[in-house]
């Protein structure tokens, strides 16, 4: 697959999972706009059953912080990693791969420990969508 195509697929994943996902997460801090975030949290802790319940002030704060960090990571990936996917810059690709594997390990362990093990399945999907273009770019 041509590097420009791989970078386009990578950017589509970044736009959806990091930027849109981060904005959705951050909306959990805004009264009147938090219903989609609550539904997403319930969906990620499959089955959809009303868990985790009403947002608390702490969960709203964590939504603001986490959503902001996720969008910022999306911007970094869009501006730094996606071009590296096109050029095959192994240093940046290796750093991106290491950071995603670190995220996966911590997020998945925390999900299991907090009783939200189904989130690991969604983490695996995001990880695969991120890692496959990076591995393809490293081989080119």
Contact 138, 93 (CB under 8 A): yes
Total residue count of the chain as it appears in this document: 140
Contact 59, 26 (CB under 8 A): no
Count of structural domains, the chain: 1
pLDDT digits (tens), the chain, 140 positions: 788 988 999 999 999 999 999 999 899 898 888 888 888 878 877 788 877 777 788 988 999 999 999 999 999 999 999 999 999 999 999 999 999 999 999 999 999 999 989 999 999 999 999 999 999 888 76
CA angle 72, 47, 59 (to 5 degrees): 40
Contact 16, 125 (CB under 8 A): no
Q: According to the model, what pLDDT value does residue 54 have?
A: 77
Contact 82, 10 (CB under 8 A): yes
Q: According to the model, what pLDDT value does residue 80 have?
A: 96
Domain residues for the domain of 34 are: 3-139
Q: According to the model, what pLDDT value does residue 32 have?
A: 85
């Amino acid at each position: 697959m041509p590097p420009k195509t791989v970078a386009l697929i990578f950017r589509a994943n970044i736009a959806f999972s990091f930027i849109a996902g981060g904005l959705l997460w951050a909306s959990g801090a805004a009264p009147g706009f938090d219903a989609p975030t609550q539904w997403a949290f319930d969906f990620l802790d499959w089955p959809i059953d009303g868990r985790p319940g009403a947002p608390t002030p702490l969960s709203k704060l964590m939504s603001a912080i986490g959503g902001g960090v996720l969008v910022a990571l999306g911007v970094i990936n869009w501006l730094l990693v996606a071009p590296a996917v096109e050029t095959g810059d192994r240093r940046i690709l290796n750093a991106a791969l290491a950071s995603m594997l670190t995220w996966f390990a911590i997020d998945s362990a925390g999900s299991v420990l907090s009783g939200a093990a189904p989130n690991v399945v969604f983490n695996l999907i995001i990880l695969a969508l991120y890692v496959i273009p990076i591995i393809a770019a490293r081989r080119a």
